[in-house]
């Protein structure tokens, strides 16, 4: 099997079609590292979201090689209306939510910190379980069918 310089199978690193056909949504995508890793594991990002303009610009700059079939959206996840999102079924919600509210550098303000986005991750997954989003998540990471 041929590999690129990073010992990643070349077809997995550049293929626009996921190996296993699964799709996921990535919140707080940043530069796309988690989404890229999931793509290499066989999950194609159905939607990637970040509020940071530079993050979205990075994804667009890499669109010819690594992120060509990604739908990158610049938005604040707090403003997402999951009932209005029309996506084909996805299998996983991934999120690189900011950790500063729970770190020493962020002064350990936790739930009192306005940067705490973990409730938004819970809201995204909960909306899928309740069917609010029209069933765009077909099952959770545990494999349990969404209902």
Q: Does residue 82 lie in a domain region? A: yes
Q: Does residue 107 lie in a domain region? A: yes
- 99 flagged as catalytic: yes
Q: Does residue 89 lie in a domain region? A: yes
Structure tokens at 136: 């765009």
Of the residues 99, 108, 122, 141, only one is catalytic, namely: 99
Instruction: Please list the ranges in the chain whose pLDDT falls under 50.
Output: 1-13, 15, 18, 133-147
pLDDT of residue 88: 60
Q: Does residue 39 lie in a domain region? A: yes
Q: Does residue 21 lie in a domain region? A: yes
pLDDT of residue 4: 40
Q: How many domains does the chain have?
A: 1
Spacing of C-alpha 97 from chain mean position: 10
Q: Which range marks the domain in which residue 72 is found?
A: 10-129
Q: Does residue 97 lie in a domain region? A: yes
Secondary-structure breakdown of the chain: helix, strand, coil percentages, each rounded to the nearest 5? 30, 20, 50
Which stretches of the chain are DSSP H helices? 10-14, 33-40, 53-61, 118-129
Q: What is the CATH number of the domain that holds 41?
A: 3.40.50.150
Q: Does residue 3 lie in a domain region? A: no
**Cβ atoms of residues 63 and 70 within 8 Å:** yes
CA distance 63 to 57: 10
Q: Does residue 145 lie in a domain region? A: no
CA distance 85 to 137: 11
pLDDT of residue 30: 94
Helix (H) or strand (E) holding 25: strand 22-27
């Amino acid at each position: 099997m041929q590999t690129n310089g990073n010992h990643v199978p070349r077809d997995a690193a550049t293929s626009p079609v996921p190996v296993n056909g699964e799709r996921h949504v990535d919140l707080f995508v940043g530069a796309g590292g988690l989404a890229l890793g999931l793509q290499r594991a066989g999950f194609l990002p159905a939607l990637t979201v970040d509020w940071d303009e530079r993050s979205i610009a990075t994804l667009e700059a890499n669109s010819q090689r690594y992120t060509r079939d990604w739908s990158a959206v610049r938005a604040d996840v707090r403003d997402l209306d999951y009932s209005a999102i029309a996506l084909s079924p996805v299998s996983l919600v991934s999120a690189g939510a900011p950790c500063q509210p729970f770190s020493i550098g962020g002064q350990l303000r936790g739930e009192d910190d306005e940067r705490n986005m973990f409730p938004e991750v819970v809201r995204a997954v909960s909306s899928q379980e309740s069917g609010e989003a029209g069933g765009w998540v077909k099952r959770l990471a545990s494999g349990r069918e969404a209902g």
